[in-house]
Structure 1
Amino acid sequence: MIRALVRASWVALARDRTALALSFVLPIVFYSIFALVFGGDQRARMPRVNVIVVDEDGSPVARRLLDALAAEPSLRLHTAPSSREGEPPAAPFDRVSAEAAVRAGKVPIALIVPEGFGAHRPDFTGAGQEATPLLLLADSANPIAPQVVKGMVQKVSFTVLSDLYLGAGVEALDLWGVDFTPTQRERLAELTEYLATREGTGGEATGSGGPGGGEMMIPVTIRDLTGEEKERPLVTFYASGLGVMFLLFSAAGAGGALIEERESGTLDRLLSTRLTMRQLLTGKLLFLFSMGFVQISLMFLWGQLVYGVDLFGHLPGFLLMAGCTALVTSAFGLVLAALCRTRKQLVAVSNLVILSISALGGSMFPRFLMPEGLQKASLLAFNSWALEGFLDVFWRGQPLTAALPEAAVLLAWSALFFAVALRVARKWESV
């Protein structure tokens, strides 16, 4: 009996060839997306980190360090905002504008070289003046960027500032009673001069620490601009991505009611009245929109009560983004329902499409992990705009106007999806 039931289920699936094909296409597509992001040569595929640089010191030491960082293939340094063709060059970044850019999510990190950085010389005796640390202003939505920049600073310091470390080492040995011969001192002076005048390439460096083996050669202070004021920052960050992905599945499932009405003949009876297809889909859209808006509101309200998500502190921005997100996912659900003939097809198609765009749009893993080409392609996934809007509101604490571009894109996608659903569904309308 069990064998017959299994056979009957396979036969039923085989009758719907579209659902059958998509059932086996889904794992291949889903695996391919993850392979594009995490597979292959990671050193070649790792996206470059955009870094704003503010040189408040202006010393030769600071310039040597920054020139070496600019030559690193893993970094892309910006000293001033980009200007459009024909416009005068923008003023260079200062500490205030760099912090504002990081808070707004334009770049994940800014490197500040404070005044007095170049006046310090390495000291291996422990009796010298404490070094002025570099300052990294970070957006912890991208936790990799601070570690990459911090590591690159230590790496290039071994090559472009090696003359300073050599001189400090000789001074320490003198203090500890090591007696160099005149020839040795002459050779050390020649080596120091060579290291000071050679062009820094930021090449491979060995070693991982300072005199004690674990300390950094150049001290670096990291300041988290976006997550420092949040009690549970990860909960706030992932509430946005999970909320958008949940609405996609919810709208696709609820949109399946259109297929059931078509199969039961209810749709034909409705269209035999004065009701037009546009009116029918508008009613369905408003129902899905209201349901999605209530669902995401309950999700964030629960996050406020239990997990500390600051919903009421960002209520205007939430209402804007929740409304636009509920609308675009509802229209998208209508497109899926209009394109599919059966419930099985809808399940297969919605799983394939929603999981794919959720992965591409950043709902399942951060977009900064993707190769640069895939990051640009992810802008075609409408959920990436919804996610960015929620991050502007909840994570970066930006004003309502900061989320208006994302809201406008979502409204445009909503209009496009509704037009496509209406065009596809016209074939059901009675003449």
Structure 2
Amino acid sequence: MIPLVALIRKDIILFLHDKRALILTLLMPILLAAFFGYLTGGSGKQEASKIELGVVQQDQHLISQKILAGLKNDKSLLIKELSLEQAQEQVRKGKIAVALVLPAGFGEAAGAAFFNAHGKPDLPIYYDPSQSTMLAMVKGILTQHVMQSVSAEMFSGKSGMATLDQSIAQLESKAEQGAESAADSATASTDKQELKTFLTSLKKFQQHQQDQNAQTAQTTQNQSEAAKPAGLSMPFNTKDEALSAKTGVANGYNGYAHSFAGMTVQFILFLAIDAGISVLLSRKLGIWNRQLAAPIGMNTIIVARGLSCALIALLVSCVICAVAMLVFQVQILGSVLGLMGVAVCFSLMTASFGLLIAAFGKTPEAARGIAIFATLIMVMLGGAWMPSFFFPQWLQDLTIFIPTRWAVDGFDAMTWRGLGIHAAIAPMAALLGFTSLFGALALWRFGRDQTAR
């Protein structure tokens, strides 16, 4: 036991003695976590960023003007009026994600197509292929404003009256064409008469609406207070409410909580890489053989290195957590005991991962490159960089075999999700399972190499 404690104490003293490495180990995850946390909403107090949309206004029709006005008033959009060449150039260079063109004649054609499925005008949209999600959001918002503007004008606007007069005149003057059978002719005549009746009734409704608006304007003597045609609009309002296990306890979602969890996982795994590489360097320099020459067993040396790495990882986790709570207002809404359990289990998994690198690494240089690549893949798939729902479903299912996924889920559950200690059991069990697997493989490989010598 005394040699084991001495070896652990030696590793911790060496870690604390290297001031530059110590500062980088603690400072880098805090800075990156703060940056990513700010990008994902911070403490939840700042407003959501707007979608920058370029608009090329080539049509001066009243409907097109109303569409543009509606887009400008939308709280989700930031409108930039551009020429066609400017819009295309800015999308190509990635300065804006989406640009919309309201082509000449669009308003009139859209109004005419409102009661007719044929002759629908095209609405050109240019978008950055790397920002395809923006395109879907813009198209959804655009649909609302186009439908509201077109329907408002068609049901109670002057353009709608003119379109209706034109449609009724066409029905009255249109002669029957082609050689139709008597039954077909009778059916066509009935359909035209029904359509004419509908359009005539709609015209009367429009005239009634305009008369009411005029009376309201005269009464109030303020045109801005007159009843304005609203047109078709969404028949509901969404009531957004962010949910966590303790909604109402926190003052909103704190984006720093998830980012600190992700960066803690990433940089502690980097500690494991350094621990594994240090073992390879010790073997390369002969320090490993000198330790084995002393009255210390190989298993004692391996376990000591693993425990020292786990203790350092736990220390770093505690420091980063303290900074997150004191500086960035991250709250532990779940179980403190569960958070400590996840941190301890992840630290043990980290130590066993470092031993695995040392056991299977051939040279320090080659092992470092492979280990960094493997760590970055695990961190990405674990959801530390981006939410896992961006992945294909098969890849989401695959992440249950990635230890970082369990660590990030465990930290999230105990902090901003506010779940109880029961939610920490599965991540802790999974992390301990990976610890046992990596540790067993490392001990087996070390023992095999020792026997070979």
> Normalization by structure 1: what TM-score?
0.52
Residue 360 of structure 2 is matched in structure 1 by 339
2:375 equivalent to 1:357: no
Q: Which residue of 2 aligns with 1:295?
A: 316
Q: Does 2:410 align with 1:389?
A: yes
User: Counterpart of 1:225?
Assistant: 243
1:270 shift after superposition = 2.7
Is the contact made by 1:382 and 1:410 (CA closer than 8 Å) also made in structure 2?
yes
> Which residue, out of 286, 309, 315, partners 2:330?
309
Please tell me the residue identity of whatever aligns with 2:319. Answer: L
Structure 1 residues 135-189: Cα deviation after superposition (integer angstroms, max 9, x where no partner)? xxxxxxxxx99x9899879979x99xx9xx99x999879xx99999874465579
Residue number in structure 2 paired with 1:401:
422
Q: CA deviation at 1:343?
A: 2.1
Does the residue aligned with 1:426 lie in a helix, a strand or coil? Answer: helix
Name the aligned partner's letter for residue 223 of structure 1. E
CA shift, 1:271, in A, is 2.6
Higher alpha-carbon Rg: 2
Distance apart, 1:231 and its partner CA: 5.7
Q: Is the 8 A contact 2:335 2:414 kept in 1?
A: yes
Distance 1:312 1:171 in 2: 53
| Distance across 1 between alignment mates of 2:139 and 2:344 | 42
Matches within 5 A, 1:86-235: 183-184=194-195, 186-187=197-198, 216-226=234-244, 229-230=250-251, 233-235=254-256
1:18 corresponds to: none
Q: Following the alignment from structure 2 to structure 1, what is the Cα–Cα distance between the partners of residues 378 and 312?
A: 22
Secondary structure in 2 matching 1:422: helix
| Contact kept? 2:336, 2:414, Cα under 8 Å | no
Q: Which runs of 5+ in 2 are unaligned?
A: 1-131, 169-192, 201-227
Cα 1:257–1:171 change in 2 (3 A) is closer
Give the CA RMSD over aligned residues: 4.2
Give the residue type in structure 2 aligned to 1:412. Answer: G
**CA deviation profile, 1:197-225 (whole Å, cap 9, x unmatched):** xxxxxxxxxxxxx9758964432221111
2:282 counterpart of 1:264: no
Match of 2:390, as an amino acid?
L
TM-aligned CA deviation for residue 381 of structure 1? 1.6
Q: Identify which of 268, 271, 277 aligns with 2:298.
A: 277
SS of match in other structure, 2:343: helix
User: Would the aligned equivalents of 1:259 and 1:343 in 2 still touch at CA under 8 Å?
Assistant: yes
* Offset of residue 314 of structure 1: 4.2
Return the alpha-carbon distance in structure 1 between the equivalents of residues 195 and 315 of structure 2: 79
- TM-superposed CA distance for 1:329, in Å, is 1.3
Q: 1 or 2, which has the higher helix percentage?
A: 2
**Structure 2 equivalent of residue 60 of structure 1:** none
Q: With the length of structure 2 as denominator, give the TM-score of the two structures.
A: 0.49
Identity rate of aligned residues, in percent?
24
CA shift at 1:264, angstroms?
2.4
Q: 1:426 to 1:216 in 2, by over 3 A?
A: same
| Equivalent residue, structure 2, for 1:31 | none
Rounded Cα–Cα distance in structure 2 between residues aligned with 1:395 and 1:243: 15
Contact kept, 8 Å, 1:154 with 1:218, in 2: the verdict is no
Distance change in 2, residues 1:148/1:219 (3 Å): farther
Q: What is the letter of the counterpart of residue 239 of structure 2? A: T
Deviates more, 1:276-285 or 1:222-231: 222-231
Residue aligned with 1:364, SS: coil
For residues 183 and 347 of structure 1, do their structure 2 counterparts lie closer, same or farther at Cα, with a shift above 3 Å needed?
same
Contact 2:382 2:404 (C-alpha < 8 Å) held by counterparts: yes
Contact conserved, 1:153 with 1:218, CA < 8 A, in 2? no
Tell me if structure 1 keeps the 8 A contact 2:266–2:379. Answer: yes
Report if aligned partners of 1:325, 1:410 keep a CA contact under 8 Å in 2. Answer: yes
Q: Deviations over 1:331-352 (max 9, x none)?
A: 1111112111322123212211
The aligned length equals: 263
